[in-house]
């Protein structure tokens, strides 16, 4: 009688995994890479166009970054709201997920989804179910990197 949590013995599991693995299709890696390159490239080109627009209107490369981020997040949110962004990622994979527009998608999608559970326990509580870990560990990583920089005396 196997214990709870230990369903079948390790040897059976390993043998079964080997059998099952033979029948699984493998992801088309080269096709996925190419499509991620196309979608990611298009989004980055759009981002560059926005930066160039701001630079043409009196911003420096440094000061153009914040308004560009705002515009790209706005566009990502708009595409999510229109129901287009998930289709874009289904096709382009990481090319759509990784840019900041994908980050916007990961916040707007749950916000739309949990609207039905109300503004507090729905949207408010669940808006960051997907992006939450990214924000939490992003802040933690920023703290570590910032600390290292400070100790090395590189901080301005």
Partner 1 sequence: MSRGVTRLDRGVYALAGVTVAGAAAVGGAKEGAGPLGPRFDLTIEDDLHGTTSFEAAEASLALQAVDQSLKKSGLARDAVDAVLGGDLLNQLYSTNFSARQHQIPLYGLFSACATFTEAVGLGAMLVAAGGVERALAMAASHHMAAERQFRYPIELGYQRALTASWTATAAGAVMLRPEMGEQASDNLGADRAVEGGVRVTAVTTGRVIDFGGHDPMDMGTAMAPAAADTLERHRSATGREWGDYDQILTGDLGVVGSRILVDLVRDGDRFRDRHEDCGRMLYSPDQDVHNGGSGAGCAAAVFAVWAYPRIQSGELRRVLMVATGALFSPTSYQQGESIPAIAHAVEFECIGRGA
Q: How far is the CB of 63 from partner 1 (least distance, A)?
A: 31
In the bound state with partner 1, the residue whose beta carbon lies nearer, of 20 and 156, is 20
Q: How far is the CB of 39 from partner 1 (least distance, A)?
A: 10
Type and span of the H or E element at 8 = none
Q: Which residues bind partner 1 (CB under 8 A)?
A: 5, 7-8, 12-13, 16-17, 19-20, 23-27, 32, 80-81, 83, 85-90, 93, 96-97, 102, 105-106, 108-110, 112-114, 116, 129-130
What would the DSSP string read from start to end of 43-99? HHHHHHHHHHHHHHTT--HHHHHHHHHHHHHHHHHHHHHTT-HHHHHHHHTHHHHSS
In the bound state with partner 1, the residue whose beta carbon lies nearer, of 67 and 81, is 81
- Rounded (5°) CA angle 31-23-87: 35
CA gap 127, 100 in Å, rounded: 16
In the bound state with partner 1, the residue whose beta carbon lies nearer, of 67 and 126, is 126
Q: How far is the CB of 119 from partner 1 (least distance, A)?
A: 15
């Amino acid at each position: 009688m196997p214990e709870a949590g230990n369903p079948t013995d390790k040897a059976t599991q390993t043998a079964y995994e080997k059998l099952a693995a033979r029948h699984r299709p493998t992801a088309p890696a080269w096709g996925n890479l190419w499509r991620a390159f196309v979608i990611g490239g298009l989004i980055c080109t759009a981002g560059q166009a926005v930066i160039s627009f701001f630079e043409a209107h009196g911003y420096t490369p440094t000061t153009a970054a914040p308004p560009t981020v705002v515009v790209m997040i706005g566009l990502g949110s708009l595409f999510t709201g229109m129901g287009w962004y998930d289709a874009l990622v289904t096709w382009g994979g990481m090319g759509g997920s990784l840019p900041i527009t994908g980050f916007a998608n990961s916040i707007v999608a749950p916000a739309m989804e949990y609207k039905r559970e109300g503004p507090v326990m729905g949207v408010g509580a669940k808006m960051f179910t997907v992006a939450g870990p990214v924000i939490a560990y992003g802040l933690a990583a920023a703290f570590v990197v910032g600390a290292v920089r400070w100790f090395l005396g590189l901080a301005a």
